[in-house]
Structure 1
Amino acid sequence: MLPLILLIVTLLLVLLLIFAVRSHPIPLLSQSRILLLIAHPDDETMFFSPTIRALLQAGHRVFVLCISNGNFDGLGKIRARELSRAASKLGISASDVICLDYDEFADGDTWNRNALCQIVMRHVEVLAADTVISFDSHGVSGHHNHASCFEALQTAYSNGTVPRDVQIFVLDSIAIWRKYIGMLDALFSFGRSPFFYMARFRDVAACWRAMWAHRSQFVWFRVLFIFFSRYVYMNSLRRISPLPLTPSPRNPQKFKFH
């Protein structure tokens, strides 16, 4: 009986701590235009839903730029339609979702960072975006297409093509043992990253509805994912910007996170 009581008390303390956690939003102008750069349909739901929901509720406009339509299994057209439906479940207008289908950015292939950089910066300009959000260098799951999104943004900084008034934020990748402990990761996440979004229950429900819209991908392990992944419940992000150093052939320009 005593172990059960201790377990209940511990769970109650954890829940109280989680409810006490507050979001620390990224610094944005009023009614900002934000470009979410992802690699495949369902990335927006599986990894970024707490951020998307918080930004929309704050009155910002969120655009989704998906580089590949996820045609690895020949379901590209289906997955592109699912992306639009899932985005609407999160609150994003279908007209604000762009899903590309270029041969050079096929799902699973190696993507040219310079070509991708040009495409991303073109969309930043056309959409008049003042903020870009994407993956960090590990891409959460280690998928090289996710990492390519980050590399394209790095290249844009190196080439000097990021407008001065555009901010870039990346989603923290974390240790695998923390990825699947759900809300409990608030104990380890809060205070470690400068920007943090904690989903509310209605945001989690919206994420579940959006994941169900990705019907072609809704296999058993994704069912487990939406229940146990910490990315369904919280996002921690960092801003990237170039260090004020003069690059040289032997010392290429580096980037700082803050």
Structure 2
Amino acid sequence: MIIILTLVFTIGLLLPVLWYFVYEFQRPLPTVDGARCLLLIAHPDDESMFFGPTIRRLTAAGVKIFVFCVSTGNFEGQGQRRKVELNNAVVKLGLSTDNLTILDHQDYQDGCKWETEKLARLVLNHIEKLDCDIVVTFDGYGVSGHSNHIAIFRTLQSLYSNGALPADVQVFILESVNIIRKYSWLLDLLPSAYKSTFRYVSSPSDCRAIFAAMFQHKSQLAWFRYLFVGFSRYAYVNTLKRIPIHRLMAPKLN
């Protein structure tokens, strides 16, 4: 028992030190002055559950972020409510609702199979209209394995692989990890620091903003969501990499 208590106490002392160290040595995306980033998500709450550290750190670096949400999340008939929740959440994250687009299209409903060719045209038009030079989205596993997350990845990969994107547009994908790392809280800072190409780590104030944004999505706050908010590494760290060419299968989890 003494050994266990000593171990817990030691971890409790070391975690803040690790957090500070990894936070001070971020690995930011390559951006230019006046960079404009499109965050492409599938459902309201994706921005808060998965991309919070990236949003907060890019904003702090002066990058203008636009959010394009492909569905209203109307799986349970709450689409209109979830649109309002998403508007409130982006404000908590420090973004403007003027830079938020929520698509409400019969072909892109929550949980349905999404046809990526038509979606690719919509996404490309949005990138060109907003003159974005960075796009951030899910990887081929989509963090949770959700088919809509994966469809977004395949849409961007198709555009990128076929050379359809403007030449100056860079695409980065949020890395999925195995379930142990996914719910390992701050403990995942160590493997994230070691393995990542690009990395954003939240400050304590970033975490408060991310939690506040997540709690705007009241329609989604089932009991397991509270566990996700409390223990998910995605509130504390995002690791990203460049989108690959011609890899349509979901990546093996680390």
Equivalent residue, structure 2, for 1:249 = none
Q: Distance in 1 between matches of 2:18 and 2:210?
A: 22
Matched with 2:163 is: 160
Percent of matched pairs sharing the same residue: 46
1:55 to 51, 58, 66: 58
CA distance in 2, matches of 1:25, 1:239: 12
229, 238, 243: which one aligns with 1:240:
243
Give the counterpart letter for 1:51 in structure 2. T
The residue type equivalent to 1:10 in the other structure is: I
Where do residues 27-46 of structure 1 align in structure 2 (5 Å cutoff)? 27-46=30-49
Question: TM-score, normalized by length of structure 1?
Answer: 0.92
Deviating 4+ runs (over 6 angstroms): none
User: What are structure 1's unaligned runs of at least 5 residues?
Assistant: 243-252
- Taking the aligned partners of 1:147 and 1:189, their CA distance within structure 2 comes to 22
Residue 246 of structure 1 corresponds to which residue in structure 2? none
Answer with 179-188 or 138-147: which moved more: 179-188
What does residue range 194-209 of structure 1 map to in structure 2 within 5 Å? 194-209=197-212
Q: Write the letter of the residue equivalent to 2:225.
A: R
2:89 matched residue in structure 1: 86
1:175 aligns with 2:178: yes
Question: CA–CA distance in 2 between the matches of 1:230 and 1:218?
Answer: 18
> Could you say which residue in structure 1 is the equivalent of 2:9?
8
TM-score (norm 2): 0.93
How many residue pairs get aligned? The number is: 246
Shift in Å at residue 17 of structure 1?
2.0
Q: Which runs of 5+ in 2 are unaligned?
A: none
| Contact 1:42 1:214 survives alignment (8 Å) | yes
Indicate the RMSD between aligned Cα atoms, in angstroms.
1.5
Q: 1:11 to 1:212 in 2, by over 3 A?
A: same
CA contact (8 A) 1:50 1:197 kept: yes
Do the aligned partners of 2:15 and 2:186 also contact (CA within 8 Å) in 1?
A: no
User: Are 1:224 and 2:239 counterparts?
Assistant: no
- Greater mean alpha carbon deviation, residues 218-227 or residues 231-240: 218-227
| SS, match of residue 50 in structure 2 | helix
Q: Report the secondary structure of 2:98's partner residue.
A: helix
Q: Which has the higher contact order (CA 8 A, sep 6+)?
A: 2
Asked whether the 8 Å contact 2:136–2:172 carries over to 1, the reply is yes
Q: Distance in 2 between matches of 1:10 and 1:82?
A: 36
Per the alignment, residue 149 of structure 1 pairs with 152
**1:96-155 CA distance string (max 9 Å, x none):** 010000001111011111111111111000011010000000000000100011000111
CA distance, structure 2, for counterparts of residue 254 and residue 215 of structure 1: 36
CA distance, structure 2, for counterparts of residue 230 and residue 152 of structure 1: 26
Q: Is the 8 A contact 1:18 1:184 kept in 2?
A: no
What are the Cα deviations for residues 177-202 of structure 1, in whole angstroms up to 9, with x where unaligned? Answer: 11111111011111312100010000
Tell me the secondary structure at the aligned position of residue 110 of structure 1. coil
**CA distance in structure 2 between the partners assigned to 1:72 and 1:32 by the alignment:** 34
Query: Can you list the C-alpha shifts for 1:46-66, whole angstroms capped at 9, x where unaligned?
Result: 000000000111111000000
CA distance in structure 2 between the partners assigned to 1:70 and 1:13 by the alignment: 40
Deviation at 1:241, TM superposition (A): 4.9
Structure 2 residue aligned with 1:103: 106
Q: Deviations over 1:177-228 (max 9, x none)?
A: 1111111101111131210001000000001110111111112111111110
In 1: Cα distance, 2:104 partner to 2:152 partner: 15
Please report how far the alpha carbon of residue 160 of structure 1 lies from its aligned counterpart in structure 2 after TM superposition.
2.1
